Amino acid sequence: MSVGMELDLRTVAEYPFWLPASVVGLLLIKATVITLLLWRLGVGQAVQAGMLMGQGGEFAFIVLGYAVTARLLPAETGQFLLVVVSLSMLAAPGSAALGQRFAAWWDSTRGGCAAAVAGPGAGEPPRAGHIVIGGYGRVGRLVADVLARHGIEHVAIERDHHLVAAARKETGNLHSGDASMPHLLARLGIGECAAVVLTMDDPKAALEAVRALRRHYPALPIIARARDEKHARLLKGAGANEVISETVESGLQLARFALSSAGMPEGAAGLHIQVERAERIATATGAAEEPAQRN
């Protein structure tokens, strides 16, 4: 707030040409440097990241303020640069939106990110009837192993590049990307897959992925992993067809062993657990639908 109060907006009127030219120049130079640094991720992602982070940062205010105080810069020059940085930050949302549109266009017309970041050893995406796994942590690898053991084609997408690099030694069906970006998943044949299984550990990432997938693929079966019952309700409300809650499932399994240890027959214990699971799923579904009906 104190830095903002030091800005003299009359500078905008004094430099009608050089001010906007400097803002555009700052955005282009910084975006170009970031794009080149991230080029190996693919053209679409690199340009999108460059345009997302091309604006000046808050640290520039501190540096410029100190430079003017120490008489390293004339006051007029410092004021001009402060306005340039401020306007570049103001233009950041528009620049980020343009970068996102460019990435979507590039991926749809040139084969884009999923193909570019697949790298050596990554296999071609299955054609139809396969399973797409969002997230390749411990849960995602378990799902992939079970599908592979039963001969079901699958492909996984993971946003952690280090995890992708390590796991590619074991499988060729792993791609680098974000499961919340449908235009990337489109390269993996998501429009013809049997279902999407979201196993991400990050609750926010899982919720964003469900919302994006449901918005672009209304009929797509989505199975999602939830942290707890509250997260499960949010995922259900966002459009997930099936939600598996970690806390609920672990509690149900422990309860099943407890019932068996207490003398209840194995079949009866399993039946009680199934009833309990069905009731909790129904409760989560009803709680998720109630806010939607109010809206």
Strand stretches in 68-165, DSSP E: 131-134, 154-158
Give the chain's domains with CATH numbers: 2-110 (no CATH), 116-294 (3.40.50.720)
**N-to-C CA span, the chain:** 37
Q: Are strands 154-158 and 131-134 parallel, antiparallel or unpaired?
A: parallel
Q: What is the pLDDT along the chain (295 residues), one digit of tens a residue?
A: 676 676 777 887 888 889 999 999 999 999 999 999 988 777 888 898 999 999 998 888 888 888 988 989 898 898 899 899 989 998 999 999 998 888 877 766 654 444 434 443 444 445 568 899 998 988 888 898 888 888 888 888 888 877 887 777 777 788 888 888 766 777 778 878 899 999 988 889 899 999 988 888 888 899 998 888 788 888 988 999 988 888 778 888 888 888 888 888 888 888 888 888 777 766 655 555 554 444 4
Q: Can you give the pTM of this predicted structure? A: 0.56
Torsion of CA 86, 88, 94, 95, to 10 degrees: -150
